Amino acid sequence: MALWLPRFSTDRLACLTVSHKAVSRKENLAPETPLVVAGRANNALYVHALNVAASRQGIYHGQPLANARAMIQNLKIVPADEKADADLLEWIADWCDRFTPLVTLDPPHGLLLDITGVAHLFGGEEAMLALVRAKIAAQGFAVQGAITGTCLAARALARHAKNTIAPPGENAQLLAPLPVAALDCGEDVMRAFRRAGLKTIAQVADRGRAELASRFGANFVTRLDVMLGVEEKPLAPRRPLPDFRTEQRFAEPVITKEVIAASLHALAISLSGMLERGGQGLRHLEAFFFRADGKVERIAVKTGTPLRDADVMLRLLNERLDALADPLDPGFGFDVIRLEASFTEKNRIITASFDNNENSRWQIAFLVDRLAARFGEHRVQRFVAQDTHIPEAQSAAIPAQDRDFDGTWVRRRKENDPPLRPLRLLEKPEEISVPVSGVPEGAPMRFRWRRAQFDVTRVEGPERIAMEWWKKEKPTRDYFRVETRDGQRFWLYRDGLYRETGLHPRWYLQGIFA
Amino acid sequence: MNKYEKLADLRHFLSRYGLPHDRPAVSLGLADADTVLGGGLRPGAQHEVFAEDWGASGFAACLAIRAMGKKPLFWIRPDYAAMEYGALSATGFLELGGDPEKLLLLRAANAEDALSATADILACPHMGAVVLELEGQAHALDLPASRRLGLIAEESGVTLFVLREGADARPSAAATRWQVRSLNARAGDDDWGSPRYLAQLTRHRLGGLGEWIMEWNPQDGSFRQETAHIGAVAATVFDRPAGMSYRFA
């Protein structure tokens, strides 16, 4: 199913004014006011979108803005906001998730829904199309739709022969009378068609394929074939399909916390049952709350170990819900609540094991999951050894839930040596000022860092560490471990060799020893 | 109250304050200090370390390495502490004798988050030790919060080290409180040597106080008694204002 919102940008603005009418009375965008959205192309302003009133007065899409201004005196002009348009389209796509999980954006103003096998849930294709259109229109958007076997054909029909439903195998007949503009393949091709006198798709399709391919390229021929239903092209969904999902629809939107909690509980139990039958555990759990007024709230939690227990799921979700900056707002109520499980893995049944280690590993993984749900996964970290000699890159802090990385820790210290690497590394090496060093290539005798003076009494080094030459070239560093008069130990380096930097090298403090 | 009741009362008192049998004390490896501490640091309790300079925070890491055993260590710090004092480095932890595989880090957005996370983590009896690093006065950690953490630690048996940098001591429910300063390598030695601290036990709920020079031995993960050269460390500077650390300098 293809949906097209022909007056998307202006409808968006009209909706905004309706909801903010109280505050901005003078920004009155009544439907009868001609309104255009101005875009910029090739350094000139042109009409990017327009409402019904404007088009009635003879303004058209792509017209230079100056012309439009000259034609209508009280023309209201708003600059285009492509970001806001894209966000809204994304929202509408979210909303469409209630019909099918396979929703694709068709920018700038369209959506494609794969409704294979779901139409009967909504009373057949015809009823479903009517339902979707009515619901979107109720939000204040003009919408046209079409249903056919392939997405490109549906797209063309939605734009040029609205609200058609093509029975299987009849794409070609329905498309044949459409103008060539329905092929939607750029201004150059259109010009060529005009010159050749080809006006409808039927005329183009009648030409030999070899002829078309040599004139417009193989891509064009593929596109034409996909559209006519000779070839098939799959939809790329916006999100990967979940492995398991379960949802509850409400006849009346639910508002109270208790009902929502009860519904989540029931859904978690049913999801847990599905996972159990499949012998799977989930790594990624997502809850969707479809609000009656079209907004969709999503809450996702990740887990470090495959999870199947309904209580644990609920606890993680609640942890996440409690941590939300602005709490879940039911507004006029939720009419659908859904749980999705993705990234599922084979899962052994975990009961209280006799193996204590196993139990404690599991408990700690659960603790990490809870903390990650509350504070965000990037805040709970573990360390992984990296195979490099660059000091700041030798250990990487990664989310503790990621189990897919591993490295071997290599201790630099020989037996009975003191630690050779500092316990603390500054996030970025800080430059220090070194007025004087003992010998030109030696360590500083005194330095100033964060406005404090430090006298160096002991030095170990240098330890020369060259940067990775195959990456962007950086100077070699000479590291020194220095001890100051009052017993503090720092890790300093000189950036660049003596013969490169001369007498005025730059010095940095990178770490602090325990 | 007859003497039997009194005895029962005392027994009850001892059972509360004595160590449970399944929780051995965390010995520091330093005979003098262990004697004063009654065998070592009390597990399932809260210990405060006030670092007087940059390096002294390593003392808390050393204590935690001792206390964690084979179990994981959770290090909790607010984001700004890392900017000020440097981020915990796993390579440095390894060099100090710890196992980076067992190290977990929580980067909290602020002190309140850090405290609530600490409470959750402490409650998990499978943790080895928890280090909570707080910089500055941290008003969130007041006496009730400290008591709460102490009770949770008592319940789960996980040892909590509260590492304070650039802060004054405040009333708290900690079992011990340490003022730590890093020391120079021994005067006679040629090389750098292991980290040395002057550790002052300034509060001990169940016993005496003391002051020791401790040298951390990364090889066997314990503190070493310092016998020689004590005279070389003259004029310990505990007389300066407590807030005076190098972050203000």
Residue B122: what are its φ and ψ, rounded to 5°?
Answer: -60, -30
Whether residue A323 lies within 8 A of chain B, CB to CB, comes out as no
Whether residue B95 lies within 8 A of chain A, CB to CB, comes out as yes
What pLDDT is attached to residue B122?
93
Residue B247 confidence class, pLDDT cut points 50, 70, 90? very low
d(CA A495, CA A118): 65
H/E stretch holding B121? helix B111-122
Neighbours of B40 (CB within 10 A): 19
H/E stretch holding A91? helix A82-96
Residue B6: what are its φ and ψ, rounded to 5°?
Answer: -60, -45
Nearest C-alpha neighbor of B89 from the set A405, A395, A490: A395
Which region holds residue A9: left if phi is over 0, alpha if psi is between -120 and 50, else beta?
alpha
The 3-class SS string of A25-59 reads CCCCCCCCCCEEEEEEECCEEEEEEECHHHHHCCC
What type of residue sits at position A353?
Answer: S
Is-contact A227 A156, C-beta < 8 A?
yes
Please identify every stretch of chain A with a pLDDT value under 70, giving residue numbers as ranges.
Answer: 17-31, 348-355, 436-438
d(CA A339, CA A289): 9
Coil, helix or strand at residue A104: strand
Nearest C-alpha neighbor of A319 from the set A254, A264, A397: A264
d(CA A423, CA A288): 44
Coil, helix or strand at residue A175: helix
Q: How far is CA A170 from CA A145, A152, A154, A175, in A?
A: 17, 14, 12, 9
Residues β-bridged to residue A110: A4, A106
Any idea how long chain A is? 514
Q: Looking at beta carbons, which pairs linking A38-44 to residues 24 or more positions away fall under 8 Å? A: A38/A65, A38/A77, A38/A78, A38/A79, A38/A80, A39/A80, A40/A80
Q: How far is CA B49 from CA A159, A396, B148, B163, in A?
A: 71, 27, 18, 5
Nearest C-alpha neighbor of B150 from the set B178, B122, B117, B112: B122
What pLDDT is attached to residue B249?
34
What residues in A contact B65, CB-CB < 8 Å?
Answer: none
pLDDT higher than 80, residue B35: yes
What pLDDT is attached to residue A14?
77
Cis peptide bond prior to A242, omega within 30° of 0: no
Is-contact B115 B148, C-beta < 8 A?
no
Nearest C-alpha neighbor of B46 from the set B176, B138, B233: B176
Helices A257-278, A310-323: crossing angle, 10 deg rounding: 140
The number of helix segments (H) and strand segments (E) in chain A equals 15, 20
Coil, helix or strand at residue A168: coil
Angle value at C-alpha A297, between A86 and A334, nearest 5 degrees: 120
Cβ-Cβ contacts under 8 Å for A4 (sequence gap 6 or more): A106, A109, A110, A143, A144, A145, A155, A158, A159, A162
Cβ-Cβ contacts under 8 Å for B81 (sequence gap 6 or more): B133, B134, B135, B165
Closest partner residue to A488 (CB to CB) among B54, B71, B216 is: B54
β-strands A110-113, A103-106 pairing: antiparallel
d(CA A369, CA A367): 5
With an 8 Å Cβ cutoff, are A514 and B92 in contact? yes
Nearest C-alpha neighbor of B197 from the set B49, B48, B34: B49
The number of helix segments (H) and strand segments (E) in chain B equals 7, 10
Whether residue B104 lies within 8 A of chain A, CB to CB, comes out as yes
Whether residue A387 lies within 8 A of chain B, CB to CB, comes out as no
Whether residue B246 lies within 8 A of chain A, CB to CB, comes out as yes
B136 vs A508, higher pLDDT: A508
Q: How far is CA A146 from CA A3, A140, A344, B161, in A?
A: 7, 19, 35, 66
Is-contact B132 B165, C-beta < 8 A?
no
Averaging pLDDT over each range in A138-152, A455-469, B96-110, B216-230, which range is the top one? B96-110
Question: Residues 46..85 of B with a Cβ closer than 8 Å to A: which?
Answer: 53-55, 57-59, 61-62, 71-72, 82-83, 85
B165 vs A163, higher pLDDT: B165
d(CA B181, CA B56): 5
Q: What is the DSSP string of B181-239?
A: EE-PPPTT-SS--S-EEEEEEEEETTS--EEEEEEEETTTTEEEE--TTGGGS----TT
Model ipTM over 0.85 = no
Question: Residues 448..477 of A with a Cβ closer than 8 Å to B: which?
Answer: 450-452, 457-458, 460
Dump pLDDT digits (tens) for B155-164: 899 999 999 9
This prediction's pTM: 0.74
Coil, helix or strand at residue B69: coil
Is-contact A8 A141, C-beta < 8 A?
yes
Neighbours of A512 (CB within 10 A): 24
pLDDT higher than 50, residue B244: no
Strands (E), B85-208: 87-88, 103-108, 129-135, 159-165, 176-182, 196-204
With an 8 Å Cβ cutoff, are B57 and A423 in contact? yes
The chain A residue lying nearest B127, using CA atoms, is A364
Residues β-bridged to residue A478: A464, A494
Dump pLDDT digits (tens) for A265-307: 999 999 999 998 988 888 889 999 988 887 888 888 888 888 8
d(CA A485, CA B224): 23
Q: What is the DSSP string of A319-341?
A: HHHHH-SS----TT-EEEEEEEE
Residues β-bridged to residue A507: A432, A494
Whether residue B119 lies within 8 A of chain A, CB to CB, comes out as no
Is-contact B166 B136, C-beta < 8 A?
yes
Q: What is the DSSP string of A189-228?
A: HHHHHHHHT--BHHHHHHS-HHHHHHHH-HHHHHHHHHHH
With an 8 Å Cβ cutoff, are B62 and A514 in contact? yes
What pLDDT is attached to residue B46?
94
What pLDDT is attached to residue B242?
47
The 3-class SS string of A472-492 reads CCCCCEEEEEEEECCCCEEEE
| Whole-number average pLDDT of chain B | 84
What pLDDT is attached to residue A228?
78
Nearest C-alpha neighbor of A39 from the set A70, A6, A9, A15: A9
With an 8 Å Cβ cutoff, are A391 and B91 in contact? yes
| DSSP classification of residue A246 | E
Mutation target among B73, B89, B220 for the A interface, most CBs of A within 10 A: B89
d(CA A390, CA A395): 10
pLDDT higher than 50, residue B101: yes
